Structure 1
Amino acid sequence: MGIKLLGVSLPLLVISIIAVTSTAADEKGKPLITKTCAGTEFPDVCTSTLESDPRSLSADLKGLSRIALELSATKGNDSAGVAYNLMQNASGYDTWSERSACFHGYNMSVYQIKDHGLQSFDDGKYDKAYQAVDLLNKEALYCSTFQIPELDESNTMLSKFTTVVKTILQLLF
Structure 2
Amino acid sequence: MGIKLFGVSLPLLVIFSVAVISTAADEKGKPLITKTCRGTEFPDVCTSTLESDSRSLKADLKGLSRIALELIAAKSKEAAGVAAPLLQNSTGYVSWSERTTCFDGYNSSADRIKGDGLQYFDEGKYEKAYQTVDILNNETIYCNSFGIPQLAQTNKFMSRFVSVVKTILHLLF
Instruction: Please confirm whether the aligned pair reaches a TM-score higher than 0.5, indicating the same fold.
Output: yes
Aligned twin of 1:27: 27
**Shift of the alpha carbon at 1:4?**
2.3
Aligned partner of 2:67: which letter? I
Aligned to 2:20, the other structure's residue is in SS state helix
Aligned partner of 2:129: which letter? A
Aligned partner of 2:93: which letter? Y
Aligned to 1:97, the other structure's residue is in SS state helix
**Shift of the alpha carbon at 1:123?**
1.2
Structure 1 residue 157 corresponds to structure 2 residue 157: yes
Aligned twin of 2:112: 112
**Shift of the alpha carbon at 1:51?**
1.0
Aligned partner of 2:90: which letter? A
More deviation, 61-70/121-130: 121-130
Aligned partner of 1:20: which letter? V
Aligned to 1:2, the other structure's residue is in SS state coil
Aligned twin of 1:148: 148
**Shift of the alpha carbon at 1:27?**
0.4
C-alpha distance in 2, partners of 1:124/1:88?
42
Q: Deviations over 1:125-171 (max 9, x none)?
A: 11111111111111111100000011011111111111111111111
Aligned twin of 1:136: 136
C-alpha distance in 1, partners of 2:33/2:100?
36
Aligned twin of 2:69: 69
C-alpha distance in 2, partners of 1:51/1:139?
26
Structure 1 residue 6 corresponds to structure 2 residue 6: yes
**Shift of the alpha carbon at 1:8?**
1.8
**Shift of the alpha carbon at 1:3?**
2.6
C-alpha distance in 2, partners of 1:121/1:10?
24
Report 1 or 2 for greater relative contact order, CA contacts < 8 Å, sequence distance ≥ 6. 2
Aligned to 2:40, the other structure's residue is in SS state coil
Aligned partner of 2:24: which letter? A
Normalising by the residue count of structure 2, what TM-score does the alignment of the two structures yield? 0.96
Aligned partner of 1:10: which letter? L
Aligned partner of 2:80: which letter? A
Normalising by the residue count of structure 1, what TM-score does the alignment of the two structures yield? 0.96
State how 1:91-106 maps to structure 2 within 5 Å: 91-106=91-106
Q: Deviations over 1:36-82 (max 9, x none)?
A: 11111211111111111111101011110010000000110011011
Gaps of 5+ in 1: none
Gaps of 5+ in 2: none
